Amino acid sequence: MVIAVDGPAASGKGTIAARLARTYGLPHLDTGLLYRAVGLKVLQDGGSLDDESAATEAARGLDATGLSDDARLTTGEAGEAASRVAGYPGVRAALLELQQAFAAQAGGAVLDGRDIGTVIAPDAPAKLFVTATPEVRATRRWKQLTARGIEISLEAMLADIQRRDDRDAGRGAAPMVQAEDAVLLDTTDMGIEAAFDAARRIVEAARAKHGL
């Protein structure tokens, strides 16, 4: 069974996807890490995030192993760089095959990102679009960062989240949008346990519907 989990930054989709993967014994790919790795590679090579061909080249040469162990990919800088390079069709095309191969594994997989249910795995039987208000998402991300000793104001965090939402949803190439057949999960008033329970119920309903 393929489970597609999409949604904006700090909606809870990453945590939900990881827990669904554990629960169903499926491999999990956080596709945001791919875009983060491409953005950082461009910066590390001294290139500009405005340079589509440099970003496309970085995406074509990406070594996708061990990304989840690379702490540099979790920084705000990497997230911002990711959102910039993710707008380039060449970058998205270069990362498509890898993601589709991951989704096509025997037994299935869980993928989370922005375009899993629309572009990467449009036939996935279980699709979730996880969201929450920008204010709640900014507060969650701010708490995570301040707990790690990173100083940032809540206002700056909210502006950052809104800028990313606008860029991710407004781009021409595979914009962040809820797939028609995805189930909306609004986690604004939920803690992680309640959000995960709701996600599992959505997946169980999809399994029953598709006889899986």
Which residues make Cβ contacts (< 8 Å) with residue 128, sequence separation at least 6?
3, 4, 5, 6, 7, 13, 16, 117, 182, 183, 185, 199, 202, 203
Q: How many CB atoms within 10 Å of residue 126?
A: 28
Contact pattern for ligand DC over residues 110 through 149, marking x by CB under 6 A: ---xxx----------------------------------
Q: Is the dihedral of CA 165, 171, 175, 180 positive or negative?
A: positive
Q: In whole angstroms, how close is the CB of 92 to ligand DC at the nearest point? A: 7
Binding range to ligand DC, per CB under 6 A, among 50-58, 80-88, 179-187, 202-210: 80-88
36 binds ligand DC (CB under 6 A): yes
Binding range to ligand DC, per CB under 6 A, among 32-40, 55-63, 100-108, 198-206: 32-40
Say how many residues touch ligand DC, by CB under 6 A: 14
Rounded Cα gap, residues 68 and 103, in angstroms: 17
In the set 28, 168, 202, 203, which binds ligand DC (CB under 6 A)? 168
Q: In whole angstroms, how close is the CB of 151 to ligand DC at the nearest point? A: 20
